[in-house]
Copies of this chain bind each other. A is one copy, B any other.
């Protein structure tokens, strides 16, 4: 069974004197916002800084003056952004970014990135970029043009592809519990002190949110061997975790993406094992001052593998 793990991601800041998204807005609003994009809220955790929701497709994090939402599958995240803007008022939005990872099956998506930013453009004057070449893993990125706002927060993404077959078998075994997965991923060691909320999907799939003070991390696992996709996003340093996570997942390819990590170039050279080679390296300072980096690595293949065979009836929807 095919599932599109590739995510769309949006981050929106509001004028902090207007209201607190965390304290003044009830869950009903977030349920409606998520539903506008065709997803559902499944559960939540919170501390005094942030409330984190597990969604039917990925995650939502709400702080006082901003929120971050990731959705995967065939959801339409721009509709959630539109819902937010129409309810909060575009004059109250100081920053908005919308990012979209290229999909395995873009033909199955309800819209293209071009369609998405055409809709966003009705509300927000912005710029569009692509990190990475069109013939490899890449991210489209749209952000509001606003010289008054500088986002200085650091953020990281680490996405793995073609994860080791035995790892995927483990992660898609039937009787798997959330504590099995937490242990397998060594989450207690990688993210100590975080409070956790997770969800094991049937027949496959896993999502987890973690909070510690104003810090978050979120992991989403699509373990299907034909379309494996494991993503980690956080506002704590993920680059220092690269060696550990590569040892656990053993992917053939992975992406690193960072915002405002000024040491990215040197740091990845220290952290990425030498058996991986860099296929794509991009850095860019946005007009609003944010510094973004994107890198894709692959493990060169030494031996020939067999082709993938399809069952014409069962697999047709994923071809």
Contacts and interface: CB of A to CB of B under 8 A. Distances in A.
Interface size class of A (residues with CB under 8 A): 35 or more
Interface string A247-290: 00000110000000000010000000000011111111000000
Most buried by B among A130, A226, A293: A130
Contacts of A253: 135-136
Interface of A: 104-109, 112-114, 117-118, 121, 126-131, 133-137, 140-141, 161-162, 226-227, 252-253, 265, 277-284, 292-294, 298, 300-310, 312, 315-319
Number of copies: 2
Contacts of A317: 114
For the complex of A and B, list the 5 residue pairs with the smallest distance between their C-beta atoms, beginning with the closest.
A114-B319, A284-B307, A277-B300, A129-B307, A130-B308
B133 A252 contact: yes
Determine chain A's interface SS by DSSP, over half rule.
Answer: mixed
Nearest to A297: B300
A252 B134 CA distance: 12
Given A135-B162, A312-B117, A282 B300 contact: no
A89 to B, nearest CB: 23
A305 B282 CA distance: 5
A281 B305 contact: yes
Contact of A306 (B137, B282, B307): B282
B292 A307 contact: yes
Nearest to A318: B114
Contacts of A129: 307-310
A296 to B, nearest CB: 9
Given A104-B135, A252-B133, A319-B113, A279 B282 contact: no
Contacts of A134: 104, 226-227
